[in-house]
Structures are given as structure tokens and as C-alpha cells.
């Protein structure tokens, strides 16, 4: 399968960033899901879980998209 995506920059800059970072965002969601699971399973402190989720979001670059 072959697909071509075209974006008009700078008008579609955010859409372009989302397209090229899609797998990073998916991995971040996966990590967040596992963090919440660990919180529930092992009764971890909520603050530690939230801090870890913030770290995952920051590392993934999600906050770079407007």
C-alpha cells in the first residue's frame, strides 16, 4: 500500500505535525493507559501517576501541537 499526504504550510502546520507524529502520540496513549492500569492494580499514589502522565505527554511532543 502506498499513500501520499499533502499539506499546505504554514496553513496546515498543525495537521502536518499530527500526521508525522501520529505513532509517537499512539505510543504516549499506550504508556498512559499502562500507567493508569498500574495505578489501579498496585494502588499507587495518584500524584505519582499524574506526574508520570505529564512526563509522558511532555516527552511525546503532544504539547507542541496547538
In a domain, 27, yes or no: yes
What is the structure's pLDDT at 9? 84
Residue 25 domain boundaries: 21-64
DSSP string, 41-61: HHT--HHHHHHHHHHHHHHHT
What is the structure's pLDDT at 62? 80
The count of structural domains within the chain is: 1
Q: How far is the C-alpha of 40 from the C-alpha of 42, rounded, in Å?
A: 6
Record the pTM.
0.77
In a domain, 13, yes or no: no
Q: How far is the C-alpha of 59 from the C-alpha of 65, rounded, in Å?
A: 13
What is the structure's pLDDT at 24? 92
In a domain, 59, yes or no: yes
Q: How far is the C-alpha of 3 from the C-alpha of 22, rounded, in Å?
A: 15
In a domain, 38, yes or no: yes
- The string of pLDDT tens digits covering residues 12-44 is 998 998 999 999 999 999 999 999 999 999 988
Query: Which residue would you say has higher pLDDT here, 63 or 34?
Result: 34
What is the structure's pLDDT at 43? 86
Q: Report which secondary-structure segment, H or E, holds 15.
A: helix 13-20
In a domain, 39, yes or no: yes
Cell of 36: 493508569
Amino acid at each position: 500500500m502506498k499513500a501520499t499526504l499533502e499539506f499546505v504550510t504554514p496553513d496546515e502546520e498543525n495537521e502536518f505535525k499530527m500526521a508525522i507524529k501520529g505513532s509517537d502520540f499512539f505510543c504516549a496513549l499506550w504508556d498512559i493507559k499502562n500507567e493508569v492500569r498500574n495505578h489501579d492494580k498496585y494502588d499507587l499514589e495518584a500524584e505519582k501517576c499524574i506526574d508520570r502522565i505529564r512526563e509522558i505527554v511532555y516527552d511525546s511532543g503532544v504539547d507542541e501541537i496547538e
